[in-house]
């Protein structure tokens, strides 16, 4: 069972890499499109897949995190078939959202990605797992109602009898309609992206989830929310984006500052990374709200970089917990002396979180800040303050947990296994490659962001 899942995941990653490499950055619009297969012809529902410069990095991100999450779950021995079956359903839903060009199927896959989380956390989780699982699903299902209402409103108002995104882009939506429907999509998708104040499900879900589920939760699932805002709300309702951008950037700024301060005050390693994710997703939402080429490119690249970084973070926390059976920062000390590889990888993830040059987080945040200072200079300053707070809690965490004096109780700790080390090394390599040579990513994202911003620029 495990071997079959591993082979399938590696083959899927190979296809994701092929799409990324073969994608033509000089062409705007969607590539690798399938034929439109009619599913409910009376309602205009078609099964239609394709990728643009925004979806392609997300497809690659999903493939990378999927493979590493499966390898990090290799030693799982409780109801293994059930666990991996649900994990693959979740991953199928994630791929479906990134690939679907029909809004009906985009929503279907969106729900498919969310529902398995309840069982994955409730059965295989820990630390108030029933509470964390129920809270996560209630928040996300409630928010998806807003998304579905928004999609139905677009379908009806469009008057084309089609849910297909390419058709709906040609429809004309009045400014009043866009102003009313855009917030439904912004808040509906925004909940999954961790938008303040609807973020509280995320840290609790992280803490309760098993390691591989936390990796997928933070690495790719939260990205569906930000992706939905771009793909549906911005692309179809450009006037609504103009009207609501100040609200979005304001809430995103709270995300950055509040998330960083909350992370600094936590005593549980998973809660630190959970609130850190809330803070960093704030930069994604900030970049989207700039409606600026550099800012939006930075937002999408931050989605990719943050996905790899948080997957690495949660994999490392899982390794530490598996060896020490605790995530209490107050009693974890000096682990680098026994877990040198784990400590090194944690330092790389931490430095990426801080935006150190040479790592992918620096490029992503730099582009977001360029867009912010061009459009909202005061918000840009607050974003920099958030980055400074991030540096404080990351450096304190590294100093305390890994590089302080070794506590005698940890003298016989083993380091990560070869399989775990190989999986995490792959994530580290992506972070370094994305920081040293970001051009393939940024050029690709530019080709996807361009058409959206052209639609918005026609309003002025």
Mean pLDDT of all residues in 255-260: 90
pLDDT at 187 over 90: yes
Question: With bands split at pLDDT 50, 70 and 90, how would you rate the model's confidence at 43?
Answer: confident
Measure the CA–CA gap between 17 and 14, rounded to whole angstroms. Answer: 5
Residues 154, 192 contacting (CB under 8 angstroms): no
What is the distance of C-alpha 440 from the center of its chain?
20
Mean pLDDT of 353-372: 90
Q: Taking a C-beta distance cutoff of 8 angstroms, is the pair 206, 218 a contact?
A: yes
Confidence of residue 218 (pLDDT cuts 50, 70, 90): confident
Nearest residue to 236 (alpha-carbon basis) of 163, 178, 193: 178
pLDDT at 226 over 70: yes
The pLDDT value recorded for residue 160 is 81
- Residue given tokens 């296994």 in the structure block: 417
% of the chain with per-residue pLDDT over 70:
99
Check whether 419 has a pLDDT greater than 90: no
Place of tokens 């705007």: 28
pLDDT band at 158 (very low <50, low <70, confident <90, very high): confident
Q: Please state the rounded mean pLDDT for residues 138-143.
A: 86
Instruction: Calculate mean pLDDT across residues 46-75.
Output: 90
What is the model's pLDDT at position 459? 58
Element (H, E) at 47: strand 45-47
User: What's the mean pLDDT when you consider all of the chain?
Assistant: 87
The pLDDT of residue 197 is 86
Residues with Cβ within 8 Å of 316's Cβ and at least 6 positions away in sequence, in order, are 342, 345, 346, 349, 424
Instruction: Name every residue whose Cβ is closer than 8 Å to that of residue 364 and which is 6 or more positions away in sequence.
Output: 283, 298, 301, 302, 304, 305, 306
What's the average model confidence in pLDDT over 248-260?
92
**58 and 223 in contact (C-beta within 8 Å)?**
yes
Q: Is the pLDDT of residue 189 over 60?
A: yes
* The pLDDT of residue 297: 93
**What is the distance between the alpha carbons of residues 186 and 270, in angstroms, rounded to a whole number?**
27
Prediction pTM value: 0.91
Phi, psi of 334, rounded to the nearest 5 degrees: 70, 25
The per-residue pLDDT for 185 is 92
Structure tokens at 129: 């797992």
When pLDDT is cut at 50, 70 and 90, the band that residue 458 belongs to is low
DSSP 8-state class, residue 325: S
Q: Distance (Å, rounded) from C-alpha 384 to C-alpha 14?
A: 37
Does residue 234 surpass a pLDDT of 70?
A: yes
Q: Evaluate the omega torsion of the peptide bond into residue 197 and state whether it is cis, within 30 degrees of 0.
A: yes
Q: Which two structure tokens, joined as six digits, stand for 312?
A: 């690495």
User: What pLDDT does 320 receive?
Assistant: 87
Q: Give me 252's structure tokens.
A: 């995103």
Name the nearest CA neighbour of 57 among 98, 113, 3, 105. 98
For the residues 411-435, what does the mean pLDDT come to?
88
What is the percentage of the chain residues whose pLDDT exceeds 90? 37
CA dist 364 → 100, 185, 255, 354, 393 (Å): 26, 25, 17, 11, 20
Q: How far is CA 458 from the centre of its chain?
A: 30
| pLDDT tier for residue 184 given thresholds of 50, 70 and 90 | very high
Q: 38 - beta bridge partners?
A: 46
pLDDT at 131: 80
Q: What is the pLDDT of residue 303?
A: 93
- Model confidence at 27, pLDDT cuts 50, 70, 90, reads confident
**pLDDT value for 49:** 92
The mean per-residue pLDDT over the stretch 212-234 comes to: 89
pLDDT band at 323 (very low <50, low <70, confident <90, very high): confident
Please give the distance of CA 7 from its chain centroid, rounded to a whole number.
Answer: 24
416: containing domain: 2-457
As a whole number, mean pLDDT of residues 382-396 equals: 89
Phi and psi at residue 316, to the nearest 5°? -65, -40
The token pair that represents 50 in the structure block? 């394709």
92 is written with which tokens?
Answer: 């199928």
**Range 438-451 burial, b when 16+ CB lie within 10 A, else e:** beebbebbbbbbbb
Query: Among 85-89, 328-332, 408-412, 441-445, which is the least confidently predicted range?
Result: 408-412
Distance (Å, rounded) from C-alpha 193 to C-alpha 7?
Answer: 30
Q: Is the pLDDT of residue 114 over 70?
A: yes
| Total number of domains in the chain | 1
Residue ranges with strand state E in 354-431: none
Contact between 93 and 113 (Cβ < 8 Å): yes
Residue 141 CB contacts under 8 Å (≥ 6 apart), including other chains? 111, 114
Distance between start and end Cα atoms, the chain: 56
CB-based burial of residue 119 (10 Å sphere; 0-12 exposed, 13-18 middle, 19+ buried)? middle
Distance CA 226, CA 223 (A): 5
| Helical residues (DSSP H) of 400-438, grouped into ranges | 418-436
The DSSP code for 40 is: E
Task: Calculate mean pLDDT across residues 422-448.
Answer: 91
DSSP-assigned beta bridge partners for residue 328: 268
| pLDDT band at residue 410 under the 50/70/90 scheme | confident
Position 460 pLDDT exceeds 70: no
């Amino acid at each position: 069972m495990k071997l079959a899942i591993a082979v399938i995941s590696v083959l899927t990653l190979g296809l994701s890499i092929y799409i990324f490499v073969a994608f033509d950055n000089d062409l705007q619009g969607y590539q690798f499109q399938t034929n439109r297969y009619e599913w409910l012809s009376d309602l205009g529902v078609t099964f239609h897949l394709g990728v643009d410069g925004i979806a392609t990095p997300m497809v690659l991100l999903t493939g990378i995190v999927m493979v590493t999450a499966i390898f990090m779950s290799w030693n799982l021995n409780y109801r293994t078939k059930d666990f991996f079956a649900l994990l693959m359903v979740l991953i199928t839903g994630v791929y479906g959202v990134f690939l679907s060009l029909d809004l009906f199927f985009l929503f279907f896959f969106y729900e498919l990605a969310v529902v398995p989380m309840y069982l994955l956390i409730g059965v295989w989780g820990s630390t108030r797992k029933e509470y964390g699982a129920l809270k996560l699903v209630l928040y996300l299902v409630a928010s998806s109602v807003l998304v579905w209402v928004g999609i139905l409103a677009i379908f009806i108002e469009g008057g084309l009898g089609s849910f297909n995104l390419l058709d709906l882009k040609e429809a004309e939506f009045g400014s009043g309609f866009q102003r009313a429907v855009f917030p439904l999509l912004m808040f509906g998708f925004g909940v999954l992206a961790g938008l303040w104040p609807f973020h509280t499900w995320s840290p609790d879900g992280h803490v309760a989830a098993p390691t591989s589920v936390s990796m997928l939760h933070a690495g790719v699932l939260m990205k569906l929310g930000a992706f939905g805002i771009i793909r549906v709300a911005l692309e179809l309702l450009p006037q609504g984006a103009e009207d609501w951008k100040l609200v979005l950037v304001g809430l995103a700024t709270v995300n950055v500052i509040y998330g960083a301060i909350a992370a600094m005050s936590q005593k549980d390693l998973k809660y630190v990374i959970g609130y850190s994710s809330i803070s960093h997703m704030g930069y994604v939402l900030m970049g989207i709200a700039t409606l600026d080429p550099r800012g939006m490119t930075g937002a999408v690249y931050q989605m990719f970089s943050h996905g790899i970084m948080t997957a690495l973070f949660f994999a490392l926390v899982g390794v530490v917990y598996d060896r020490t059976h605790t995530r209490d920062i107050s009693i974890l000390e000096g682990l680098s002396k026994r877990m040198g590889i784990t400590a090194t990888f944690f330092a790389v993830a931490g430095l990426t979180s801080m935006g150190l040059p040479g790592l992918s987080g620096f490029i992503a945040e730099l582009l977001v800040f360029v867009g912010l200072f061009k459009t909202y200079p005061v918000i840009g300053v607050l974003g920099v303050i958030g980055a400074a707070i991030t540096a404080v809690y990351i450096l304190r965490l590294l100093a305390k947990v890994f590089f302080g004096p070794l506590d005698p109780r940890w003298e016989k700790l083993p380091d990560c296994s070869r399989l775990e080390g190989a999986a995490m090394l792959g994530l580290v390599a992506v972070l370094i490659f994305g920081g040293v040579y970001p051009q393939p990513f940024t050029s690709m994202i530019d080709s996807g962001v361009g058409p959206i911003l052209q639609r918005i620029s026609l309003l002025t």
